[in-house]
Amino acid sequence: MDRRSVLRYTAWAGMAAGLGVFRSRAAGAVPAMSPGMSAPPTSEILLPFPLANVTLAEGVFSRKRALMLDYGRGYDVNRLLSVFRANAGLDPGQAVAPGGWEGLDGEANGNLRGHYGGHFLSMLAQAYASTGEAVFNDKLTAMVAGLHACREALARTNPWVLSVPGRFGRAIENVRGSYQYVTLPPAAIGSANQLTLSMWVRPTRSDAWARLFDAGNDTTRYFYLAQRNDSGVPRFAITTSGPAGEQAVNGTAPLPLNTWSHIAVTLDGRAAQLYVNGVLVGSNGAVSLTPATLGSLRDYWIGRSHYGADPLYVGGIDELNIYSRALSADEVARLQWAPAASGPVGRGNLASYDFDDTNTATITDSSGAGRHAGLRRTWGAPSHPGFLAAYPETQFITLESMTASNYSVVWAPYYTAHKILKGLVDAHLNSKDAGTRAKALELASGLCDWMHSRLSRLSQAVRQRMWSIFSSGEFGGIVEAIVDTYSLTGKPSHLELAGFFQLNSLIDACASNTDILNGLHANQHIPIFNGLVRLYDETGEERYLTAARNFWPMVAEYRTYSIGGTSDGEFWKARGAIASTLSSVNAETCCAHNMLKLSRLLFFHEQDPRYMEFYERTLFNQILGSKQDKADAEYPLVTYFIGLAPGSQRDFTPKSGTTCCEGTGMESATKYQDSVYFRTAGDDALYVNLFSPSVLRWDTKGVTVTQTTGFPVEQGTTLTIGGSGRFSLRLRRPGWATTGYRVRVNGTVVDTSATRPGTYLSIDRAWSNGDSVTVDMPFSFRVEATPDDPDLRAVFYGPIHLVARAASTTTLSFSLDRLTRLSGDLVDTFVPVVGKALHFTVGNTEFVPFLEGTTDPFHSYVKNVTPTVVFAGLDSGVGNVRGANGLRLLDAIWRNAPFASKGDWVEHVRQTSAAWLAGGFISNAEHQRVLTTAGNARVLP
């Protein structure tokens, strides 16, 4: 296999397993397996299948995905490109820029724009790979071509004129987000004692203090013409002593938006007159200052102010004429109806600009004096031609000297770069068009080249400081994307670049298995470990993999809520703090997305079933439940936070619809199938990790596997083999599949007695066309207690988290363990709702699957209140008190379920009750009543 062929196999599903696994890691030996033998955790190298090789069939995943695909089909990608085009000085067209975080305005001045466009690229790439629909490839092609044009425009030393229809002929347009202005040579004004400025303008925004013209050195000596002052009318002012000394004249009405207006100001050393459309709108007979008074000034600008907080002028500019005399009112009026050059007034003798220029940064002076102007960006030119962003490079430059967070100034520029880079890699790997693939890779490679050119100049100490800043220094999963790019380009500088993004304080702590997560921003740090695993793939540096392995349980096992998510208000709290952190801002969806990626990456290296147990919980609960079950043309309808306080409701349109979580939500919903099946690098084993109706095409084996199931409504699945060949089929037996688990091959029962819940069953045989494997996995009801409040429980039915649907904001209380069976199943407490799959009632309260994306108020946790020890409804009258270990007596009795027989269970009751007696928690009489009640109770199997 060549480099690209290998990566197409390892990165189609949004994660490049990478060529490094072939260079630096040999696949472990696979032990021979016989049917029924439980496979211990292995350290094989696993590879994912391309998304195109796993087709989703009808089921909960395909229904959720269909809603996202509809959104993707209908959304105009020009809206996403508009912010990139604006930054590059290109015509954004009529497309309306997205709102929220992706817009030019909004939160933190739009400093995160471009991130959502990157997510959308990934979504399109995955949607095309999964469905083959031309619409997704077409949109992908359009986005890559648009970004390529933006990169080429940004690479110019100065921006080129955006030529548009003007008042006379052509004009130039400075669009919102372009950071452009025009600079004139000093001689265009000179030291005139009299002056007339005449220009046509078409403002598109009503910004106060945006300058039509500004000349000065600083905020002391200057003169300007502003489109609006604080009162909303045009203003001319001139001063040698700052604002307090301004000699000014104001207009009487605002300049209309999106309409050409002629504006002129005249100075004669005694007075200033202001004209709009040939009409005198303001006059001040006490304006004695002139350009001659101010003397030689440094800057002469159109569209930019010397006050840094003032906005740039946004709109059209046409025909600027500068005269060394004060025109009369009649002469000003005559400039309304024809170009100055063809009228009696003539061109300005100091300078005259028609703004008819195209494909250039130079604006020609037609006065004959050769005083040509130039179009400039406020931030200059990119430091490297590979730069691509939807905002200026100043975001990245400023970060290099920051010592504290200020997201209104710098908001995670490398995080945004990650989304764009990943989208480009996904486009390269999935596009049908060779030209699009080549452009996408060129853009990705160039982006890495630019980042290397910036970061290689910095010391390690500076980089460490940058990455430690919340949230300005957040860089997301950029290391993973850079290593994926390196796997495609082979450039050593790209691998070196990946090593620049290392927060050593975190990595070293996790490598030594020291938990320092309390107080850290969750999603700023989770993706770091995804990148470390990929760096390990390429470098073999054990520190990286060790840190990631140690980090995973710190989150998955100590800071994860019932739905599979983590974080409170985006931050981690103390280890084991669950009940005490329930709020309206739990479980940021990005965190779940990235923890799934980390679990998957780690499982590729070490087949610890815990990773897939976590994956299933989070996928079937938070990820599915984060997508609303309705269609929408404007929003992907994905949650940001998921509040888990009592009576919480999900918000599927957070912050105007373009948050980080809506971006990862688009990606999640178009790659649901990416971890259903994995294969060993040697193609000698197939892992079936998840139960989802799907068809796998195993090209390298010449085999198909069709999984037919209604899971999770159906409590089992059937796998049908197409083709033939010898391989080991590794079936995950979920940890919740405790009783009744059965596997049949072509109708013959397989011995699963050695396969414990939460492990993999391996069936090694020569498979023939039409062979079938049927798996029965009966669900049972169970509750999971929070570590910091053992009475607060989450209810599960198999893998499905059931939430109580109720508007109350007070924690609901139930007695859930009064009818517990020997298996540990609480099934007799829950009454099925007829006609509503996976819906149950306890008393008058309905419990529903969290995966249903509704806005109904819910309780993810409820109190289990059973005051006395009760078995199968038979009450002993003995208090259900806590023992030395903090458990209540009933919890200690049932924690070892399932029990093989009632006799085994009664013996366990005796031992547990005796421990409570010995500890002084119950009396001997109470101990005897517990035993008597247990003996008399009709506890079902």
Spatial CA neighbour of 666 closest among 131, 119, 135 = 119
> How many CB atoms within 10 Å of residue 181?
22
Instruction: Judge whether 348 lies within some domain.
Output: yes
Instruction: Judge whether 415 lies within some domain.
Output: no
Question: In this structure, which amino acid lies at residue 929?
Answer: R
Is residue 683 scored above 80 in pLDDT? yes
Contact status, residue 831 vs residue 842, Cβ threshold 8 Å: yes
Contact status, residue 794 vs residue 801, Cβ threshold 8 Å: yes
Q: Do 752 and 891 have their domain in common?
A: no
- Can you tell me the mean pLDDT for 452-481? 98
Q: How far apart are CA 229 and CA 223, in angstroms?
A: 14
Contact status, residue 267 vs residue 246, Cβ threshold 8 Å: no
Place of tokens 């006059």: 283
Contact status, residue 335 vs residue 356, Cβ threshold 8 Å: no
Instruction: Judge whether 489 lies within some domain.
Output: no
Is residue 860 scored above 50 in pLDDT? yes
Burial 798-833 (b: 16+ CB within 10 A, else e): bbbbbbbbbeeeebbebbbbbbbbbbbbbbebbeee
Spatial CA neighbour of 302 closest among 199, 160, 195, 187 = 199
Provide the domain count of the chain: 3
- Can you tell me the mean pLDDT for 832-840? 98
pLDDT digits (tens, 9 = 90+) for 696-750: 999 999 999 999 999 999 999 999 999 999 999 999 999 999 999 999 999 999 9
Is residue 254 scored above 90 in pLDDT? yes
Contact status, residue 661 vs residue 590, Cβ threshold 8 Å: yes
- Is residue 258 packed enough to be buried (19+ CB in 10 Å), middle (13-18) or exposed (0-12)? exposed
Q: Do 45 and 181 have their domain in common?
A: no
Identify the band that residue 43 occupies on the pLDDT scale cut at 50, 70 and 90.
confident
Is residue 41 scored above 70 in pLDDT? no
Percentage of the chain exceeding pLDDT 90 = 93
Which of these three, 747, 776, 805, is where a domain ends? 776
Locate 298 and state its tokens: 């440094």
Is residue 14 scored above 80 in pLDDT? no
Q: How far apart are CA 750 and CA 461, in angstroms?
A: 59
Q: Do 768 and 881 have their domain in common?
A: no
Q: Do 766 and 873 have their domain in common?
A: no
Rg (CA), the chain: 34
Which of these three, 318, 351, 377, is where a domain ends? 377
Distance of CA 344 to the CA centre of its chain: 61
Q: How far apart are CA 793 and CA 64, in angstroms?
A: 28
Identify the band that residue 264 occupies on the pLDDT scale cut at 50, 70 and 90.
very high
Distance of CA 617 to the CA centre of its chain: 20
Higher-pLDDT residue of 778, 7: 778
Contact status, residue 248 vs residue 236, Cβ threshold 8 Å: yes
Spatial CA neighbour of 891 closest among 789, 757, 756 = 789
Identify the band that residue 803 occupies on the pLDDT scale cut at 50, 70 and 90.
very high
Q: How far apart are CA 784 and CA 826, in angstroms?
A: 12
Domain limits for position 231: 166-377
Question: In this structure, which amino acid lies at residue 205?
Answer: R
Instruction: Judge whether 67 lies within some domain.
Output: no
What are all long-range contacts of 229-237, with beta carbons under 8 Å and residues at least 24 apart?
232/206, 232/208, 234/263, 234/274, 234/276, 234/281, 234/282, 236/265, 236/272, 236/274, 236/282
> Residue 638: which region, alpha, beta or left (left: phi > 0; alpha: psi -120 to 50)?
beta
Q: Do 43 and 192 have their domain in common?
A: no
* Mean pLDDT, the chain, integer: 94
Q: Do 757 and 879 have their domain in common?
A: no
Q: Do 892 and 757 have their domain in common?
A: no
Instruction: Judge whether 893 lies within some domain.
Output: yes
User: How much is the pLDDT for 105?
Assistant: 84
pLDDT digits (tens, 9 = 90+) for 906-938: 999 999 999 999 999 999 999 999 999 999 999
Q: Which residue intervals of 225-373 are DSSP H helices? A: 291-294, 329-334
Q: Do 44 and 180 have their domain in common?
A: no
- Is residue 384 packed enough to be buried (19+ CB in 10 Å), middle (13-18) or exposed (0-12)? middle
Identify the band that residue 109 occupies on the pLDDT scale cut at 50, 70 and 90.
confident
Distances in Å between the Cα of 127 and the Cα atoms of 424, 428, 669, 823 are 14, 14, 9, 43
User: How much is the pLDDT for 727?
Assistant: 98
Instruction: Judge whether 433 lies within some domain.
Output: no
Instruction: Judge whether 532 lies within some domain.
Output: no
Identify the band that residue 21 occupies on the pLDDT scale cut at 50, 70 and 90.
very low
Identify the band that residue 2 occupies on the pLDDT scale cut at 50, 70 and 90.
very low
Question: What are phi and psi for residue 537, nearest 5 degrees?
Answer: -55, -40
Q: Do 762 and 891 have their domain in common?
A: no
pLDDT digits (tens, 9 = 90+) for 641-674: 999 999 999 999 999 899 999 999 999 999 999 9
Instruction: Judge whether 289 lies within some domain.
Output: yes
Identify the band that residue 25 occupies on the pLDDT scale cut at 50, 70 and 90.
very low
User: How much is the pLDDT for 656?
Assistant: 86
Higher-pLDDT residue of 15, 856: 856
Which of these three, 358, 377, 396, is where a domain ends? 377
User: How much is the pLDDT for 39?
Assistant: 44
CA dihedral 266, 268, 273, 277 (to 10 degrees): -30
Q: Do 340 and 219 have their domain in common?
A: yes
Question: What are phi and psi for residue 427, nearest 5 degrees?
Answer: -65, -45
Q: How far apart are CA 546 and CA 845, in angstroms?
A: 46
Strands 759-767 and 725-733: antiparallel
Q: Do 176 and 304 have their domain in common?
A: yes
What are all long-range contacts of 706-712, with beta carbons under 8 Å and residues at least 24 apart?
707/57, 707/676, 708/57, 709/59, 710/59, 711/59, 712/60, 712/620, 712/779, 712/798, 712/799, 712/800, 712/838, 712/849
With residue 596 as reference, give the H or E element that holds it.
helix 589-605
Locate 914 and state its tokens: 């005796």
Distance of CA 194 to the CA centre of its chain: 57
User: How much is the pLDDT for 31?
Assistant: 27
Distance of CA 641 to the CA centre of its chain: 13
CA dihedral 853, 855, 857, 858 (to 10 degrees): 10
User: How much is the pLDDT for 410?
Assistant: 97
User: How much is the pLDDT for 107?
Assistant: 87
The domain that contains 324 carries what CATH number?
A: 2.60.120.200
Identify the band that residue 614 occupies on the pLDDT scale cut at 50, 70 and 90.
very high
Locate 200 and state its tokens: 């046509």
> How many CB atoms within 10 Å of residue 240?
15
Contact status, residue 615 vs residue 600, Cβ threshold 8 Å: yes
Is residue 34 scored above 90 in pLDDT? no
Spatial CA neighbour of 929 closest among 864, 866, 870 = 870
Q: Which residues pair with 365 in a beta bridge?
A: 353
Q: Do 758 and 904 have their domain in common?
A: no
